[in-house]
Structure 1
Amino acid sequence: MDLDGCRPSLRSETPDLEGNGSLYSPAKEKAANRGVYNVLSPFTILRAKRLLGAAKLKLFLCFSVLCIILFLSSRLSSWMGWNPHYPSSVYSPTRGGYTVLINTWKRNSLLKQAVAHYASCLGADAIHVVWSESEPPSERLKAYLKKVVFSKSQTTQKPNFRFDINAEDNLNNRFKPIEDLRTDSILSVDDDVIVPCETLDFAFTVWKTAPFTMVGFVPRMHWLDKEKNGVAYYRYGGWWSVWWMGTYSMVLSKAAFFHRKYLDLYTHKMPSSIQDYVSRERNCEDIAMSLLIANTTGAPPIWVEGKIYEIGASGISSLKGHTDRRNNCLNDFISLYGTVPLVSTNVKAVNAQHKWFW
């Protein structure tokens, strides 16, 4: 008889042992594969994920608050008002500079502030004051301003300072040619307008890319209002028109760069009837210069974004009937040219260093 067939199986009687000496259990093995006996349970993992997500949110909020604080700090000085001695950072003497041409009229206190500010700008190679009053400037005023220029200038070679004295009161005086200029670039400003040095640096850089174009900070526009009996009538638009329409065709010479050659063209080549008009009306020399440059280049001006400060009382723009007078100037000048030389554009030069996003 085959005894092997009747021999009981030892495997069925001998319990299987795991490596650690405990009993082997298939159910236990399946549970382990499902993670029941893992060190980290599903509840623990879920809780860890939630904590990690909360930490990420807190880090993001802290970073956002920090960015806002840095932004507000950088803008605080501009909100508080004009900083008259804001350092100039872009200008390099090897790239040349500009001549500041300040038009003034019986506002010596404003003139002193303007001269002191522009003398502190590194790009100012010379400062000329257009003087058209009946009495010449006093020796005391001249000595004071020369001392201010010397003390405020941050360059080794101090800006050349002088008064350009005129025998008669005439708005055309502000665009008379200047002898012995060392720069091609003219910065034309009114005595009550302050443009921060850093803003001037950027605008000067823009002007150098298009030196025969007018580059400025105060945009204006024109548009065809109506036409009757074959005669067109144009409207002069101020700042709010520019803001609403998103276009402009002029920048005012109260704060603008242009090439020195336009001083000669304005005085000797522009129709004398326009100069007579400006002299008679005591207005619109800035519109005349815009028309002259547009007629010469066939191109629009360039508006540079930048905050400027008007430190005086309200000027002639606040007087009653100012808009009508500007409309008349525009239409009369266009009729003298026989065409509309102004070119409209919506291009604006912006310093990307002051923007969060490109």
Structure 2
Amino acid sequence: MYNPAEQKTHNKLDKFRIHIRQIGRKRACLVFCSFLVLLLLIFALKSFQFDKRESTEIPDMISVAQQEEFTLIIQTFKRDDILLKVLERCLVVPHLQKIIIVWNNVGRQPSKELQESWSHYPTPVIFLEQKINSMQNRLQPFPEIHTDAVLLLDDDLLLSVSDISFAFTIWKQFRDQIIGFVPRKHVETPSGEYNYQGISLSDLQIGRDKYSLVLIGASFFHHRYLKLYQDQPKAMHSLVEETQNCDDIAMNFVVSLHLRKLMNATLPSGIYVKPLNMVNLEMQAVSGFKGMWFRPNHFKQRSYCLTRLAQIYGIMPLQFSNIIKTHST
């Protein structure tokens, strides 16, 4: 039997069910849309991370190279034959990223034989031809340097592979100092001037002597010091040009003064590493060209430089040390 009241109730229930279905569809649609938005966000985030990883991949690689490799700089003048011997030794040294040859033979290009002698080695060798023959050419912040560490080596010094590798290990522990194989010292005279003197290695070993400089012609140091050297007073650069000497003494001043600012403390500019096997090839050069060592006034000239540099900077920043790093320590 038809019941109006019951039919009315059914109609209300039907409307309610329809309303519930509509709400369900809207909710399902909202959930689905939210899910799509979430997927898009995840995809965008992953894409951003991937792009970020790719954009930082090369700098990360450079950072590793900066810390774990070094650049070798050799300045040469009229010594092609012994330069070859030095290069043949250095090209097999671990962690060597690149060799920069500062070519001071103005007006003469490196021979084809010289440039192709090491073509079978993986380490690149770059010749940078200079416009003038200057001692300071080697102390430029070359854009080709992509490592923190620089090994500066005279073109007549032959170091063993183990000595170079050991010195690099020491440099990584003392990155703000010069790590080298040739120590020297300054001595103040009663007149206030300074004398440049050698070191008795036997006295140094038993504590009877100290050094205050480490020569840069066989040394590791941070590449930042090349830029700092260029930023020094004009009088310092003029002194080096005037004497064609003393750039290594000047660099020890630069490092000592930087350490004062960096650490607010007086530290020696360098640390001496005792080499196992270091040979001077100068007398073997076919050209017969002799370097500064053979000048009769060499030590006198360097004493003059010490005094003038102290006057230019208004201070004697060099500090004495008796630290010796050996392969057994």
The answer to whether TM tops 0.5 is yes
For the pair 1:319 / 2:295, whether they are aligned, the reply is: yes
Counterpart position of 2:97: 125
- The letter of the residue matching 1:236 is Y
2:199, 2:235 → 1: CA distance? 28
Counterpart position of 1:161: 125
Deviation at 1:195, TM superposition (A): 1.2
Please show how residues 11-30 of structure 1 align to structure 2 within 5 Å.
none
2:225, 2:243 → 1: CA distance? 22
1:302, 1:317 → 2: CA distance? 22
- The letter of the residue matching 1:110 is I
Counterpart position of 1:305: 274
Q: Which range is displaced more, 166-175 or 313-322?
A: 313-322
Please show how residues 1-358 of structure 1 align to structure 2 within 5 Å.
96-147=68-119, 150-151=120-121, 158-227=122-191, 232-240=192-200, 243=203, 245-267=208-230, 269-298=231-260, 299-300=267-268, 301-306=270-275, 307-313=277-283, 315-352=291-328
- The letter of the residue matching 1:264 is K
Instruction: Report the identity percentage.
Output: 27
Contact 2:99 2:124 (C-alpha < 8 Å) held by counterparts: yes
Deviation at 1:258, TM superposition (A): 0.4
How many residues matched? Answer: 249
Counterpart position of 1:77: none
1:272-298 deviation digits (Å, cap 9, x = unpaired): 111111112111111111111111113
Cα distance change on mapping 1:93 and 1:258 into 2, 3 Å: closer
Q: Which has the higher contact order (CA 8 A, sep 6+)?
A: 2
1:275, 1:342 → 2: CA distance? 19
- When the two chains are superposed, the root-mean-square deviation of aligned CA atoms in Å is 2.1
Runs of at least 5 residues in structure 1 that lack an aligned partner in the other structure: 1-91, 152-157, 354-358
- The letter of the residue matching 1:123 is H
1:296, 1:114 → 2: CA distance? 31
1:105, 1:325 → 2: CA distance? 21
Deviation at 1:136, TM superposition (A): 3.8
Contact 1:221 1:242 (C-alpha < 8 Å) held by counterparts: no
Cα distance change on mapping 1:138 and 1:322 into 2, 3 Å: closer
Runs of at least 5 residues in structure 2 that lack an aligned partner in the other structure: 1-63, 261-266, 284-289
- The letter of the residue matching 1:178 is F
Cα distance change on mapping 1:199 and 1:272 into 2, 3 Å: same
- The letter of the residue matching 2:244 is R
Structure (1 or 2) with the larger CA radius of gyration: 1
1:101, 1:305 → 2: CA distance? 21
Contact 1:223 1:235 (C-alpha < 8 Å) held by counterparts: yes
Deviation at 1:242, TM superposition (A): 8.5
2:253, 2:168 → 1: CA distance? 21
